[in-house]
Structure 1
Amino acid sequence: MTVAKTIAAAVLALCAAAPAFAQDPTPVGTWQTTTGESRYAVSYCGDGTALCAKLTWLRKDAQTPENLALLNEYVVQGARATAENKWRGTVKYEGHTVSGSVTLVGTDQMSLSGCQLIACRKVDFVRI
C-alpha cells in the first residue's frame, strides 16, 4: 500500500469514528450505587439545563423507613452546571436537605458529594 493510500485509509477510519467522539458524556440515565443498594433515574429538569435524580429502587436490606419515604421522590433537585461534568444543587439524604454536587467521572461512573456542617459523605454510582 502506498503512503497516499495509507493516509487516505487513516482519514476514512477517523471520519467513520468521529460520531463516537462527538457525543458528550451525559449523566442522564439509570444509575446504581456501587454497593447495589439503590437505583436512580437521572434527568435534566427545570429549563432543561438543571439536573435532577429520582430514587426508583431499593434493595430489601436498604428499605428503612427513611429510605422508603424517599422512594419515587427527587433526591437531587435543580443542580446547576458549575464546571464541565459537574453540577451543584440540593440533595435529600437521611431526612436532611443539604448542598451537594454531582460529578460525572466517566461515561459510566458518577459521584455525589454532600456536607452538613462538618459531616460530609460521598456516594459513587455506575450506569446500568
Structure 2
Amino acid sequence: MASRFGYVIALVAALAAPVAHAQGTSPEPAGVWQTQAGDAHVKISKCGGGICGVVVSLREPIDPMTGKPQVDNKNPNPSLATRPIIGLPLFSGMHPVAAGKWQGQIYNADDGGTYASSVTVTGESTLRVEGCVGALCGGETWTRVGR
C-alpha cells in the first residue's frame, strides 16, 4: 500500500542542532505544520511541560478502497485500528532537551509502530521531525502553515 502520510518516520536521521532566534529566545513549534510530502497537517501544541502533535487534516481524508475516512488500520491493537487518522495523536509529552528541541516518541500510522523521536525548530517556518528504529535513523522537514 502506498504511503498515505508525509510524516512517515520509519527511519530517522541524526539529530539536528537547535536554532535560537536572534533575540536569544527559544523557538517554539506551536502551530499547524505541513508534512514534507504535503499530505497531512499536524497541529503542535504545548502539553504537560512538553509538546503534543495531532493530525488535523489529510490531503486524501477518504480511503479510496473503502470510501470511508482513513483509519489507523496498521495499529497492532485491534481496539485502536478503527480510530480515525484525523485527530490521531502522533506524539504527546515530548519533553524539552535544549532550546528549540524536544525528544520523546512518535507514532507512525503507516506501520503501527512507535519510535524514539525528536522535534527541532530549524527556522521560523521549518521543523525537523526525526526518529530512529534501532541504529537506523531518518527524518523529514515540515513547513509551518500560515502564521
- Scaled by the length of structure 2, what TM-score is found? 0.63
Highest relative contact order (Cα 8 Å, sep 6+), 1 or 2? 2
Structure label with greater radius of gyration: 1
Mark the runs of 5 or more structure 1 residues left unpaired by the alignment: 1-19
Deviations 1:58-93 (A, max 9, x none): 112895654874320210111011111110011001
Aligned to 1:122: 139
Higher strand share: 1
TM-superposed deviation, 1:121? 2.8
Alpha-carbon separation, structure 2, partners of 1:120 and 1:106: 22
Match of 1:43 among 33, 42, 45: 45
Mark the runs of 5 or more structure 2 residues left unpaired by the alignment: 1-21, 64-69, 74-82
Report the residue type matching 2:93 in the other structure.
G
Q: Once the two structures are aligned, what percentage of the paired residues are identical? A: 28
Q: Does 1:75 align with 2:90?
A: yes
Aligned to 1:92: 107
How many aligned residue pairs are there? 107
Alpha-carbon separation, structure 1, partners of 2:97 and 2:140: 19
8 Å Cα contact 1:41-1:55 kept in structure 2: yes
Alpha-carbon separation, structure 1, partners of 2:99 and 2:25: 14
Report the residue type matching 2:57 in the other structure.
W
Report the residue type matching 1:53 in the other structure.
G
Report the residue type matching 1:116 in the other structure.
V
Cα-Cα RMSD: 2.5
Alpha-carbon separation, structure 2, partners of 1:62 and 1:120: 30
Match of 2:29 among 27, 41, 48: 27
8 Å Cα contact 1:32-1:126 kept in structure 2: yes
8 Å Cα contact 2:100-2:121 kept in structure 1: yes
8 Å Cα contact 1:114-1:120 kept in structure 2: yes
- SS of the residue 2:28 aligns to: coil
Residues 25, 91 of structure 1: alpha-carbon distance in 2 compared, 3 angstrom cutoff = same
Following TM superposition, the consecutive aligned residue runs of length 4 or more in structure 1 with deviations greater than 6 angstroms are none
Higher helix share: 1
Report the residue type matching 1:50 in the other structure.
G
